[in-house]
Structure 1
Amino acid sequence: MLRKFVLLAISLVVAGVLASCSALEGDGRHLMPLSGATKSRLAAMGSSPQAAMMIRIFKEESALEVWKQTAGGSYKLFQTYEICTWSGELGPKFYEGDRQAPEGFYTITPGLMNPNSNYYLAFNLGFPNRYDRTHGRTGSHLMVHGACSSAGCYAMEDEQIAEIYALARESFTGGNRSFEVQIFPFRMTPDNMAKHQSSEHIDFWNNIKQGYDYFEVASTPPAWDVCDGRYVFRQPSAVNATASMAGSCQAVVADPTIVSAFQARQSADAAAIQSAIVRLADAEAAAAEAEQRRLNAEAEMAARGEAINNAVDGFFGTLFSPLDALAPSQPETAPQGTPQG
């Protein structure tokens, strides 16, 4: 009974926060209920509108994933939405005005929800987070929003952000205090990591890949923190994500089964990345060799064509020169007014 009372109180507080930030037009778009079809899909996967959620964003694939917690505690993919547009390039955001969409791990609380957005609906990513501040990065108003227009944000179609916003709202009313947004440059596969090994951001990407791998093996988002300028990841129950860390910067603290699976994945991916790098280098070398052969063949054909043209010109020049010699000579005509001899 006490738990139900507490959840009801939290629900009323969250609803009050959201309702107090009513849409400028007063149309209540931030309170639009989830469709019956959406509720049915959630139930079919063993989840509910009030269950915890998590979001993953992949820049290169322009994809936003919503994951929902199931009754068993693990997270399952609910929906992948196509990002309408995002600004900047692959890589993290560095400073205010660089028009770069951020990368990293961000914790979204009810206070970051923005029903008053000029871009239909939005939620603020909370940039800069602790990692960003540690590295002196600046920026503000970095959001996921509607209207398909971006200057450092992730922009969705209005219908998409309406559903994502409603899913977040219902998660809060279910008693969840926050949800995580994990933003990656691309899906952190060995092939993609190998393809981008020469990037100036590869050390940062190797760091956030640890969080990516943790979720892949644990099926639950890790708590994250920052130590010695790097993200570190722990079992959610082991540490509050906003608490300061002490001691060594261990990459992952979790159930031994999860730690073992995490380490095995990291090791396997490291080997796969090296193999992929070799394959890419061999493919580039083969492509360069093929291109050189093509250029050599073109040069040979051009030289052969020039030789044939010269031979033809020489043949006809020789053929017609005797006729020129047999042509009657024309008498010279003395210039007018010049005495004849």
Structure 2
Amino acid sequence: MNRILRAISALLLVGLVASCGGKQEQPQSRFRSYDGPPITQIVVKKGERQMYLVSGQQVLRSYKINLGNQPLGHKQFEGDGKTPEGMYFIDRFNPRSRYHLSVGISYPNNQDRERAQMMGLRPGGDIMIHGLGPEGRAINRADWTAGCIAVNDDEIEEIYAMLARNGHGTTGVPVFIYP
């Protein structure tokens, strides 16, 4: 009987000590909610390193961005390090992105494919708006992507939520990328 009482006392003591650790911080989910106006277009100004999320005529948010590692000019082929220019569309959402979260841009279009084919090359693809990823890559280096548009992880969470509209991915939003 004495052993049982000591065991119960020990368990209670361990439970009491464990509860003294204070409130455990839960990691913040990267999936936010958004119930504001719909995003009707995204405008990227490569020369200014700025991206704007627009609803109708109103800019709702602006972000400082990083681009491909060869930012001048339109993407011509896979591996050129350029970010495309022109009109594209949001075409997918990746909640398991290596770069925290990512939103796909519809590059390459038919013109991009034809241009690359004329050079005997592949146009590349998988162009995304994404976060920093595993090493916080852009902390000490500008224009580090392979052609994507990068923002910080907090910003991609906000962008993802604004475009996904509470979990319902809104594809088809036009993306205008200017030099």
Tell me the equivalent position of 1:179.
Answer: 173
Contact 1:53 1:168 in 2 (8 A): no
Cα 1:152–1:68, aligned 2, differ >3 Å: closer, same or farther? same
Tell me the equivalent position of 1:63.
Answer: 50
Q: Please, what is the CA RMSD of the aligned residues?
A: 2.3
C-alpha distance after superposition, 1:236-263 (max 9, x if no partner):
xxxxxxxxxxxxxxxxxxxxxxxxxxxx
Q: Name structure 2 gaps, 5 residues minimum.
A: 1-27, 118-122, 133-137, 139-143
Q: Name structure 1 gaps, 5 residues minimum.
A: 1-26, 43-47, 70-74, 186-341
Looking at structure 2, the residues matched to 158 and 84 of structure 1 have their Cα atoms a distance apart, in angstroms, of 13
Tell me the equivalent position of 1:228.
Answer: none
Tell me the equivalent position of 1:301.
Answer: none
Verify: 1:80 aligned to 2:62, yes or no: yes
Cα 1:162–1:177, aligned 2, differ >3 Å: closer, same or farther? closer
Residue 130 (structure 1) aligned to one of 110, 114, 128: 110
Residue 168 (structure 1) aligned to one of 163, 175, 179: 163
- 1:33 maps to a residue whose letter is S
Looking at structure 2, the residues matched to 184 and 163 of structure 1 have their Cα atoms a distance apart, in angstroms, of 22
Higher percent of residues as helix: 1
Looking at structure 2, the residues matched to 85 and 134 of structure 1 have their Cα atoms a distance apart, in angstroms, of 23
Looking at structure 2, the residues matched to 134 and 60 of structure 1 have their Cα atoms a distance apart, in angstroms, of 26
Contact 1:54 1:66 in 2 (8 A): yes
TM norm structure 2: 0.68
Cα 1:52–1:66, aligned 2, differ >3 Å: closer, same or farther? closer
C-alpha distance after superposition, 1:21-58 (max 9, x if no partner):
xxxxxx852x3223xxxx5xx4xxxxx2xx24210101
Looking at structure 2, the residues matched to 80 and 52 of structure 1 have their Cα atoms a distance apart, in angstroms, of 12
Deviation at 1:132, TM superposition (A): 0.9
Tell me the equivalent position of 1:199.
Answer: none
Moved more, 148-157 or 117-126: 148-157
Contact 1:87 1:153 in 2 (8 A): no
Tell me the equivalent position of 2:127.
Answer: 142
Which structure has the greater CA radius of gyration? 1
Cα 1:52–1:151, aligned 2, differ >3 Å: closer, same or farther? closer
Verify: 1:151 aligned to 2:138, yes or no: no
- 1:133 maps to a residue whose letter is R
Looking at structure 2, the residues matched to 172 and 32 of structure 1 have their Cα atoms a distance apart, in angstroms, of 9
Please list, as runs of the form range in 1=range in 2, the aligned pairs for 1:105-254 lying within 5 A after superposition. Answer: 105-109=87-91, 112-136=92-116, 138-147=123-132, 148=138, 149-170=144-165, 173=168, 177-185=171-179
Structure number with greater CO (CA < 8 Å, separation at least 6) is 2
Deviation at 1:134, TM superposition (A): 3.1
Looking at structure 1, the residues matched to 94 and 116 of structure 2 have their Cα atoms a distance apart, in angstroms, of 26
Verify: 1:90 aligned to 2:90, yes or no: no
